Amino acid sequence: MKLAQRGEFGIIAALRQRSAAAPGLITGIGDDCAVIAPQPGEQLLVTSDMLVEGVHFRWDWTDPVRLGRKCASVNLSDLAAMGATPRYLFLALALPGDLDTAILDAFFDGFLSVCGEHGAVLAGGDTCASSAGMTISVTALGSAATGTALLRSGAVAGDALFVSGSLGDSALALQQLLAGKRPESFLAQRHFDPTPRVNLGCALAQTGLATAMIDLSDGLLADLGHLLSASSVGARIEIETLPLSAAFRQALEQNQALIDLALSGGEDYELLFTAPAAAAALLADLAQKSATPITRIGTVLPLVNGLQLFANGQQRPLPAGQGYKHFAGGPESCILGNVCAVQEDAARR
């Protein structure tokens, strides 16, 4: 069945049936607004992210379940980056009338599965027709105990710099896709179905161990640049300490230049945070409890030092690109994925 036959109200009715109850959600899908009762002693954190067909995703590469999952996950990653517990999501969709309803249902399966995994619910949204391609905009609300939300601006010189998980997998998968190759399943999963580091982010905020935090969507150097600017500090990164997956290391053995993907590639959705170096043992404990690896990759320095890259004790020039420009206050950059997808589309035309 085509979407045009089901219609806007058919879609909303189906979503309403699938929506769950949640603490604090007085009224969800079905009225003009959702009604939410904030819990005493908590603050709400709100974030939005948009995914556009042809810019952020392509149907010939992804499937609707994983697309739905990614739409939820990238928003939960932003909540995790500030230590918020995911609560309520809002989903705005612009849909082509000739879209198959089975595709939309699979998209909802993926989206709602991520919500369920993290105890969040779909609380509303908007549905309209699109004349070209599918656009998905998600707004996510999370909660954190008053005053515990972790900002980008709290890093101080002397702090250690940590990152969760591994770097560069998603960008490597994208590079292989662009070259017409099929990435192996681990890399593909990292690109199409990233894991938001919700448990770790919340634990870091609750324990007060971290001083500043950001999630990695635009690449390590670019996002580190944001954190350093916000905190008015510099930093030094030791390249040989960057956490790399087995699949990434295997590719790196064939081509050393791929290390740039770990430094500048986008869509890792890992957490980058600063904490006093003395907190390392407590952090190791936390990594175990949240089942999320944490690796120290450098040190926060006074602002005058800027951003420095070292490999085995030797200073290396920063890759010409986004990270440095951001840090120098240059123009905003697209994520690697956006740039590549747009270039690829232009080349096809």
Residues 26-85 that bind ligand ADP (CB under 6 A): 29-32
Residues 125-154 that bind ligand ADP (CB under 6 A): 125-127
CA proximity to 203, closest of 86, 84, 44: 84
* Interaction between residue 100 and ligand ADP (CB under 6 A): no
* Interaction between residue 91 and ligand ADP (CB under 6 A): yes
Judged by CB under 6 A, which stretch of 23-31, 191-199, 204-212, 277-285 contacts ligand ADP? 23-31
Return the one option of ligand ADP, Mg ion, none that residue 29 interacts with (CB less than 5 to 8 A, by type): ligand ADP
- Comparison of 31 and 344: residue with beta carbon closer to ligand ADP: 31
- Comparison of 25 and 187: residue with beta carbon closer to ligand ADP: 25
Q: Closest-CB residue for Mg ion?
A: 126
* Segment (H or E) for 329: none
- Comparison of 126 and 285: residue with beta carbon closer to Mg ion: 126
Can you give the binding site for Mg ion, defined by CB under 5 A? 126
DSSP 293: -
- Comparison of 110 and 243: residue with beta carbon closer to ligand ADP: 110
Q: Answer yes or no: are the C-beta atoms of 150 and 212 closer than 8 Å.
A: yes
* Interaction between residue 93 and ligand ADP (CB under 6 A): yes
Two tokens, residue 85: 């517990």
d(CA 263, CA 285): 27
Look at strands 160-164 and 294-302 and give their pairing.
antiparallel
Residue 336 burial by Cβ neighbours in a 10 Å radius (0-12, 13-18, 19+): buried
- Comparison of 15 and 188: residue with beta carbon closer to ligand ADP: 15
Chain positions contacting ligand ADP, by CB under 6 A: 12, 15, 29-32, 91, 93, 122, 124-127
